[in-house]
Structure 1
Amino acid sequence: MPELPDLEVFAANLDKQFKGKVLKEIDVTVTRKLNVEVPELKKKLEGHKLSSVSRNGKSLLLDFGKDRMLGLHLMLHGELQMKEEGKEPRFPIIGFDFTDGSGFFMTDFQKAATPTLNPVISEVPDAFTMSKEAFLELLAGKKTEIKSILLDQKFIRGIGNAYADEILWEARIYPFSPAKAIPAKNAEKLYEAMQRVLKNAIAEIRKANPDQLSGELRDFMNIHHSKKTESPTGARIQTRKVGGRTTYFTEEQERFGLS
């Protein structure tokens, strides 16, 4: 699943490619998750100029003007693809054709990727908008394992499995430590690691593939990598599967609240 850094790059690239263009036609192939009828969607958006594309949590927001916002959530396997002359995409969910002949698609073989007209924007803070004070307060009140806190979109939005591991390793905090057991100074380091890891990842993705609209670039990751056996500082990378997710960690990460 694309996480905050991937989506930040996707949003910037869509904005660069399509900002200011007029939507000629929108084609919805899979309607089961669309929150309005297709005719209403077409009436709302067709003929209007795309003013911006941005990211909010794990969603992309296409702004066509007042009451004309379209949210795209890629879910687990959704992808964005540029329109190519004479080539039809596989597993399309929704397609966008602009008056200059350009366009793009959102696809998903599982048909789970979701378009939403005028989505309700969650009040849960994004990882980039959450203040340090709010982060420390969140951790202080939770007995839950710290990795679960980072992953829970009801507490903080944008982070997924891979970046949670990277953030916790960067802060040297054991992922299964109860959140409230982490001392304040270490919780502050965790907040700073979260900001640093996510910003560095965005820069790495842009450098490796400046026009990227799909995929999850992970080669630069320090420990969340199936082909790496040691951290950059030489510790053996260990894994543990919990709830269908594999956690990567090392003994460099300090345990808090565990006997």
Structure 2
Amino acid sequence: MPELPDLQVFAKNLTKLFKDKKLEKVNATVTAKLNVPVKELEDTLEGQTLTHIGRVGKELQFTFKNGHVLALHLMLHGELHLFEAKNEHRFSIIELIFEDKKGLVLTDFQKAATPTLDPEKSDTPDALAVDARYIEQKLSSTKSPVKTVLMDQKVLRGIGNAYVDEILYDAKLSPFSASNKIPAEKVKVLLHSIKSVLEDAEKQIIKHNPDLISGEVRDFLLVHKPKQKETAKGETIHQKPVGSRKTYYTDSQELF
């Protein structure tokens, strides 16, 4: 599943392609998860100019001149593809066709990727906007493993399994640490790691895949590497589950 850095890059590249273009046609081919009738979607968006594409949590949000927003959640296997005039991609969920006949399609063979018209706004902070006070409050209120807390989209939006492992490795904090046992000074280190790891990942993706609009780029990760036995520093990479998620970590990460 694409996480925050991937989606940041997708949004920037899609902006270059489609910002200020008029949407001629929207085709919702899989409607089971669509939150409004197809006709309402068409009446709301067709003929409107796209003014902004951004990332909110794990969604891409397309904002149009009339103020309405189309959100796309790629889920686990959703992919975005470009096409001209006619979409030839299989497993289409929704197609957006713009005035120059250039189109964007969301596909998913599992049919889990979700389009939403005018999604509800969330009070949960984004991982790049969170502050120390909020993180301290959330961690101190539970004894759950810190990895579980950081992956909870109702606590912190935008990051998932891979980048939580990377953040905890950077902070030298064990993913199994009881959240309410982590000292305040270590929480500050964790907050710094959240932002620095995510921002650096975005730079790495742009450097090696400047036109990316789909998929996951993980080559540069340091510890969340299923096929690798050691880090670049020679540390043994261990793998154990936290909840149902495979977790990669080293002995250098302190357990509280």
Normalising by structure 2, what TM-score? 0.97
**Aligned residue in 2 for 1:239:** 239
The Cα of 1:248 is off from its aligned counterpart by 0.1
Preserved CA contact (<8 Å) 1:230 1:236: yes
**Aligned residue in 1 for 2:153:** 153
**Aligned residue in 2 for 1:18:** 18
C-alpha separation in 1, matches of 2:139 and 2:242: 21
**CA RMSD in angstroms, aligned pairs only:** 1.1
1:74 aligns with 2:102: no
C-alpha separation in 2, matches of 1:170 and 1:118: 36
Report the secondary structure of 1:47's partner residue.
coil
C-alpha separation in 2, matches of 1:64 and 1:254: 47
1:50 aligns with 2:50: yes
Closer, same or farther: CA 84–228 of 1 in aligned 2, 3 Å: farther
Report the secondary structure of 2:240's partner residue.
strand
The Cα of 1:232 is off from its aligned counterpart by 2.6
**Residues 196-239 of structure 1: CA deviation (Å, up to 9, x unaligned):** 00000000011111110111000000010122211232210000
Which amino acid is 1:181 matched to? K
1:254 aligns with 2:254: yes
Structure 1 residue ranges, 4+ long, deviating more than 6 angstroms after superposition: none
The Cα of 1:85 is off from its aligned counterpart by 5.4
The Cα of 1:129 is off from its aligned counterpart by 1.3
**Aligned residue in 2 for 1:3:** 3
**Aligned residue in 2 for 1:130:** 130
C-alpha separation in 1, matches of 2:65 and 2:71: 13
The Cα of 1:243 is off from its aligned counterpart by 3.7
**Aligned residue in 1 for 2:229:** 229
Report the secondary structure of 2:215's partner residue.
coil
**Aligned residue in 2 for 1:212:** 212
Which amino acid is 1:162 matched to? A
Which amino acid is 2:78 matched to? G
Report the secondary structure of 2:164's partner residue.
helix
**Aligned residue in 1 for 2:111:** 111
Counterparts of 1:179-218 in structure 2, within 5 Å, are: 179-218=179-218
Report the secondary structure of 1:199's partner residue.
helix
Closer, same or farther: CA 48–79 of 1 in aligned 2, 3 Å: same
The Cα of 1:138 is off from its aligned counterpart by 1.6
The Cα of 1:187 is off from its aligned counterpart by 0.8
Report the secondary structure of 1:153's partner residue.
coil
Query: Percentage identity across aligned positions?
Result: 49
The Cα of 1:26 is off from its aligned counterpart by 0.5
Report the secondary structure of 2:144's partner residue.
coil
Which amino acid is 2:21 matched to? K
**Residues 141-181 of structure 1: CA deviation (Å, up to 9, x unaligned):** 22110000110001001110000000000000010111110
Q: Structure 1 stretch 215-224 or stretch 82-91: which is displaced more? A: 82-91
Which amino acid is 1:239 matched to? Q
The Cα of 1:63 is off from its aligned counterpart by 0.2
**Aligned residue in 1 for 2:94:** 94
C-alpha separation in 1, matches of 2:130 and 2:235: 31
Preserved CA contact (<8 Å) 1:91 1:111: yes
Report the secondary structure of 2:50's partner residue.
coil
Preserved CA contact (<8 Å) 1:67 1:118: no
The Cα of 1:67 is off from its aligned counterpart by 4.1
- Alignment coverage as a number of residue pairs: 256
Preserved CA contact (<8 Å) 1:21 1:99: yes
Closer, same or farther: CA 81–181 of 1 in aligned 2, 3 Å: same
Report the secondary structure of 1:24's partner residue.
strand
Preserved CA contact (<8 Å) 2:85 2:102: no
Report the secondary structure of 2:31's partner residue.
coil
C-alpha separation in 2, matches of 1:85 and 1:206: 28
Report the secondary structure of 1:200's partner residue.
helix
Gaps of 5+ in 1: none
Q: Structure 1 stretch 198-207 or stretch 133-142: which is displaced more? A: 133-142
